Structure 1
Amino acid sequence: MKKAGKIWIIGILICLEIILLPWQVYGEEVQEPDSLYALSAVLMDGDSGRVLFEKNGEEQRPMASTTKVMTCILVLESGRTGETAQTSAYAASMPEVHMGAREGESYGVRDLLYALMLESYNDAAVILAEHIGGSTEGFADMMNEKAREIGCEDTWFITPNGLDAQAETEEGVKIHSTTAEDLARILRYCIRESSAREEFLEITRTPSYTFTDSSGNKTISCTNHNAFLSMMEGALTGKTGFTADAGYCYVGALEREGRTLIVALLGCGWPNNKNYKWSDTRKLMEYGLENYTWQSFAQAELPLIPQYLPVENGQTEILGVPAQVAVSLEELSQEEGMLIRKDEKLEAVVEIEQSLQAPVKEGEKAGEILYQVNGQTWKTREIHTAASLEKIDFPWCLEETLKRLVFAP
């Protein structure tokens, strides 16, 4: 009897464990990163653009040479990397870090991009900006236009190299600045959306590069100073920066097991703390890898969607039968998805019309499916009508009446 009682108790405990297991996993507490050195920090999903973690992520701050990420992508997208650019007096006057270009010297545009991204040379940035934009002011306009285009509302570029600067605008005095969120968004554009993304990755991942000026008399050797590239498995790209106002800054990306993570750091210490940025970058990347997995939107469980929708005042083949039209779903690729934290759930919410008003055209939007995490929508999928249906009108009524008269017994 005692043995039987123990078996019953064990059985009940096993059943409870099975029932509660999903809740235990779903409700598992996730510890967010703390004690970061950076004044502003963001961890972003490189695929969806979703901010996975932020610390003062929308606070505007100077960004130093991480500016050169935007300079590089604009030059690549210009399609003029095969050209030669000449050094102006202004470019030659740039402070360190510089490659020592002298007024009148010419360099290949593509060569200068390696000098820009590997060694972070300030004169290389100005030579490129003047060549592509006509002037540093013209190039800054291009930078700000691109920033608005990709959704960076709190970024303002003045220089192509990230040196601390301020300028008078119609809105008042602005400083050369961005936010950690905008900076992450800029790098995401460079590696995911830009037509020049492959070239960008090729340049920024190169360990070393050597070139000469157009005359062949001057040789420049560049070494990549992005220590993150050898710090973590899957490290993809990145750019460091430092000025007196900005402090140490960094933006970098990692790709591992179908996940792309982007870290942006602003104000991450001042001398002698140049390694703080690597500590923060590792901490944020590890947090993302440990707590987030990629999930396709197609994996979300769909609520019941009606196959047909009633159509008010719509023509029917049989008198007295309510008019209706079939609906179809917009195609959804298995490749579309986002990073989901282990205590979160991707949900599909259907918003669809209760009825339609005739006339109805094939392909007309009848509703949509919202793919949400914590109530925030990250993907919408439209529901369309699969056929057309005309409105009841006098000619149709006359035709139906005549049919009934002709076929009446």
Structure 2
Amino acid sequence: MGVNRKRVKYYIYYILILTLLFVVVSNEVQAAPSVSSQRAILMDQETGRILYEKDAHSQSRIASITKIMTAILAVESGMMDKEVTVSSNAAGTEGSSLYLKAGEKIKLEDLVYGLMLRSGNDAAVAIAESVGGSLDGFAYMMNEKANEIGMKNTHFSNPHGLDDHEDHYSTAYDMAVLTRYSMENEVYKEIAGTKVHTAPNPEEKWDRKWKNKNRLLTELYKHSTGGKTGYTKLAKRTLVSTASKDGENLIAVTLNGPDDWNDHIGMFEYGFKQYDYKIVLEEGMIEKMDDEIYKDHAYLKRESVLTLKDDEVDDVKVEYKMLKPKEEWLKNKNVPEVVGKAVVYLEDEEVDTLPIYFKTTDEAEEEKSWWKFWAYSFESFIGVRDHG
């Protein structure tokens, strides 16, 4: 019986097409991270854009990632060199501990290291009493700071995150907001990214040596730059972490995550692979200005950078909203500080707004003269300009 070659070819093509479709679909499925945590978020640190989220705005207990707020308030207090006397209340705090003794003196800076690296609850109370005057006073400071930076679904009742208050909660999104704010502080950033810290221990023959509990930082993920671990019986495992790769900085948060280490690695790898920074507006003079008065005068003081996928670049649009220009501006009369704004849209959603400034004629001429002077000096120095 002869073989129908056309039919064989048809089946081969059919199998190849199915295989290709399977590969494409598999890649698309793998593009979104698989997360074990009940609540999670991946945020770009520079722009604040959410790259991935899972129930990120639901309130939940947060355990020891509370200590990020405790740490940043201590850093911002300006008292990091202050010697703190440990109270009996602090020394007797339950849970993870630095084993501080009542009456001993320790620098606030070392308490913050112990707080972030070893999650010392005794350190949290000692910090709160020193910076806030009392636990209640410090909780007030925590909530004031939360409101200030836009943590809208958060309430703090203690400095450590233990399950001793019903009204102590936050969200994955709010904790990412807090971490983004905190990472702008170089002192906090250094502490959160420290693998091992040694602190003096005058009452003993050896110094204290604390290794960071964040295994992403110490062993599991080479791009990790810091973060904070957490666990209580009610909150379960919580984790905040940061990572940087090729100039891109990301923040990941998981709440109630049984496999949080892998959750964070998966989210980071997704973010680094799928997204990149794109400059959509350059700092300096705006070239595309229809009105003659604005040409060579309207400018931006900063650039606009977005975190985008490659296929999103064409979805970015810029709209210039300008004041009605006046001839007298060219004569440096009654020139407003801001003459308009550049609004950046991604898929019709406003994602950035930049004020537009007006450079007066005198400023423009002065700048040109300055550059001419340096160009002349440089050419003379390298021997290009003829002095004869």
Q: TM-score, normalised by structure 1?
A: 0.73
Quote the residue 1:382 is aligned against: 355
The separation in 1 between residues aligned to 2:173 and 2:41, in whole angstroms, is 6
1:206-285 to structure 2, matched below 5 A, reads 206-213=194-201, 215-216=203-204, 219-229=207-217, 230-269=219-258, 276-285=259-268
Distance 1:88 1:218, change over 3 A: farther
The separation in 2 between residues aligned to 1:99 and 1:241, in whole angstroms, is 16
The separation in 1 between residues aligned to 2:29 and 2:358, in whole angstroms, is 43
Letter in 1 for 2:278: Q
Q: 1:177 aligns with which of 169, 189, 195?
A: 169
Letter in 2 for 1:189: Y
1:92 aligned to 2:60? no
The separation in 2 between residues aligned to 1:357 and 1:149, in whole angstroms, is 39
The separation in 2 between residues aligned to 1:357 and 1:332, in whole angstroms, is 22
The Cα shift of 1:46 comes to 0.5
The separation in 1 between residues aligned to 2:301 and 2:356, in whole angstroms, is 12
Secondary structure of the residue aligned to 2:37 is coil
Quote the residue 1:190 is aligned against: 182
The Cα shift of 1:217 comes to 6.5
Letter in 2 for 1:210: T
The separation in 2 between residues aligned to 1:40 and 1:381, in whole angstroms, is 33
Secondary structure of the residue aligned to 1:142 is helix
The separation in 1 between residues aligned to 2:69 and 2:121, in whole angstroms, is 14
Secondary structure of the residue aligned to 2:183 is helix
The separation in 2 between residues aligned to 1:35 and 1:143, in whole angstroms, is 33
Q: Could you say what the CA RMSD is over the residues aligned between the two structures, in angstroms?
A: 2.7
Q: 2:192 aligns with which of 181, 184, 204?
A: 204
The Cα shift of 1:283 comes to 0.9
Quote the residue 1:111 is aligned against: 110
The separation in 1 between residues aligned to 2:310 and 2:31, in whole angstroms, is 12
The separation in 1 between residues aligned to 2:270 and 2:215, in whole angstroms, is 19
User: Between Structure 1 and Structure 2, which shows a larger proportion of helix residues?
Assistant: 2
Secondary structure of the residue aligned to 1:74 is helix
Cα deviation code 1:264-307 (max 9, x no counterpart)? 111113xxxxxx0101001100110110011123269x894313
Q: Is the 8 A contact 1:112 1:124 kept in 2?
A: yes
Letter in 2 for 1:203: I
Quote the residue 2:300 is aligned against: 331
Quote the residue 1:17 is aligned against: none
Q: Is the 8 A contact 2:132 2:138 kept in 1?
A: yes
The separation in 1 between residues aligned to 2:30 and 2:310, in whole angstroms, is 11
Secondary structure of the residue aligned to 1:148 is helix
Quote the residue 2:4 is aligned against: none
Equivalenced residue count is 327
Cα deviation code 1:49-83 (max 9, x no counterpart)? 11111101111111111111111111111111111
Q: Is the 8 A contact 1:328 1:383 kept in 2?
A: no
The separation in 2 between residues aligned to 1:308 and 1:113, in whole angstroms, is 57
Distance 1:113 1:384, change over 3 A: closer
The separation in 1 between residues aligned to 2:276 and 2:214, in whole angstroms, is 26
Distance 1:356 1:202, change over 3 A: closer
Quote the residue 1:298 is aligned against: 281
Quote the residue 1:150 is aligned against: 149
Secondary structure of the residue aligned to 2:269 is helix
The Cα shift of 1:140 comes to 1.1
The Cα shift of 1:352 comes to 2.8
Quote the residue 2:159 is aligned against: 160
Secondary structure of the residue aligned to 1:260 is strand
1:286 aligned to 2:269? yes
Q: Is the 8 A contact 2:298 2:359 kept in 1?
A: no
Letter in 1 for 2:307: L
Cα deviation code 1:164-217 (max 9, x no counterpart)? 233xxxxxxx6211111111111111112xxxx222232222222233445457
Secondary structure of the residue aligned to 2:311 is coil
Distance 1:354 1:67, change over 3 A: closer
Quote the residue 2:37 is aligned against: 38
Distance 1:106 1:384, change over 3 A: closer
The Cα shift of 1:344 comes to 1.2
The separation in 2 between residues aligned to 1:387 and 1:92, in whole angstroms, is 63
The Cα shift of 1:90 comes to 1.6
Letter in 1 for 2:167: I
The separation in 2 between residues aligned to 1:251 and 1:147, in whole angstroms, is 17
Q: Is the 8 A contact 1:240 1:250 kept in 2?
A: yes
Distance 1:226 1:366, change over 3 A: same
Q: Is the 8 A contact 1:233 1:256 kept in 2?
A: no
The separation in 1 between residues aligned to 2:226 and 2:40, in whole angstroms, is 17
Quote the residue 2:364 is aligned against: none
Which stretches of structure 1, 4 residues or more, deviate above 6 A after TM superposition? 357-360
The separation in 2 between residues aligned to 1:209 and 1:367, in whole angstroms, is 50
